[in-house]
C-alpha cells in the first residue's frame, strides 16, 4: 500500500500545481481513500455522503495478487455477494472506471469472505452537473478553486496521463 500512497500524493501534488483552473474537470474518486480497495479499509464510511455524477471516474487500487473486483448486475447479487455472473471483472491492481451513465453500479470483492465482511461498494451516479440536495455535485470547477472530499481528486487530461504513466513505472520497476 506504500505505492498507493505514493501515487495518491503524486496526484494531490499535480492537482495543487494545476490549481483546478480548467472548467469541466472530472472528479476522480480513489475508492477507500489512502487505504484503497483493501479488506482493512472501511469502504462504506468512505462512500458515505459522497456524490458521484456522470463524467466522474472511480479508481480502484488494490493488490492484484491478493484481490480482484467484480461489477455486478443487481442489488440482489450485491447483497448476497454472488459473483457467479459478473458484468465485468477487474484484475489489474489499478482500474479507472468512468461513470458514463446515471444509475446504480455495484462493485464487490471477488473473494466471498471479503465481500461478506463489507468489501463492496454501490455507486449512485447522478446527472452531469447534478444540483439535487440529496446528491450535490462535488468539486465542479468554478471561479474559486473548490475543495474535494478526502479520497477525491479533480484531474485534468494531462494529470490522468501522468498518473497512469507513474503507475506503469511503479508496476514495471517492481518486476
User: Greater confidence, 154 or 100?
Assistant: 100
Query: Could you give the number of structural domains in the chain?
Result: 1
pLDDT in tens, 36-50: 999 888 899 999 889
State residue 4 phi and psi, 5-degree precision: -60, -45
Strand order in the sheet with 94-98: 94-98, 57-61, 26-30, 152-155
User: Greater confidence, 54 or 157?
Assistant: 54
- Tell me, what DSSP letter sits at residue 134? S
In terms of pTM, does the model score above 0.75? Answer: no
Helix (H, G, I), strand (E, B) or coil at 3: helix
State the residue range of the domain holding 35: 2-173
What is the rounded average pLDDT of the residues 60-89?
Answer: 96
Strands 120-126 and 52-53: parallel
**Distance between CA atoms of 127 and 57, rounded to whole angstroms?**
13
pLDDT in tens, 165-175: 555 455 545 55
User: Greater confidence, 50 or 134?
Assistant: 50
Q: Residue 70's domain is classified under what CATH number?
A: 2.60.40.420
Q: What does the pLDDT read at residue 26?
A: 77
Amino acid at each position: 500500500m506504500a505505492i498507493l500512497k505514493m501515487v495518491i500524493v503524486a496526484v494531490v501534488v499535480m492537482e495543487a500545481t494545476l490549481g483546478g483552473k480548467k472548467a469541466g474537470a472530472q472528479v476522480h474518486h480513489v475508492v477507500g481513500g489512502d487505504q484503497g480497495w483493501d479488506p482493512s479499509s472501511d469502504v462504506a464510511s468512505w462512500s458515505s455522503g459522497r456524490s458521484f455524477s456522470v463524467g466522474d471516474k472511480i479508481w480502484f487500487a488494490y493488490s492484484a495478487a491478493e484481490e480482484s473486483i467484480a461489477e455486478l448486475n443487481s442489488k440482489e447479487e450485491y447483497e448476497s455477494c454472488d459473483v457467479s455472473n459478473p458484468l465485468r471483472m477487474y484484475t489489474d491492481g489499478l482500474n479507472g472506471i468512468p461513470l458514463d451513465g446515471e444509475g446504480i453500479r455495484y462493485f464487490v470483492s471477488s473473494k466471498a469472505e471479503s465481500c461478506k465482511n463489507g468489501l463492496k461498494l454501490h455507486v449512485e451516479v447522478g446527472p452531469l452537473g447534478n444540483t439535487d440536495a440529496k446528491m450535490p455535485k462535488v468539486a465542479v470547477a468554478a471561479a474559486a478553486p473548490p475543495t474535494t472530499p478526502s479520497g477525491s481528486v479533480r484531474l485534468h487530461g494531462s494529470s490522468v496521463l501522468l498518473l497512469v504513466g507513474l503507475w506503469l513505472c511503479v508496476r514495471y520497476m517492481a518486476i
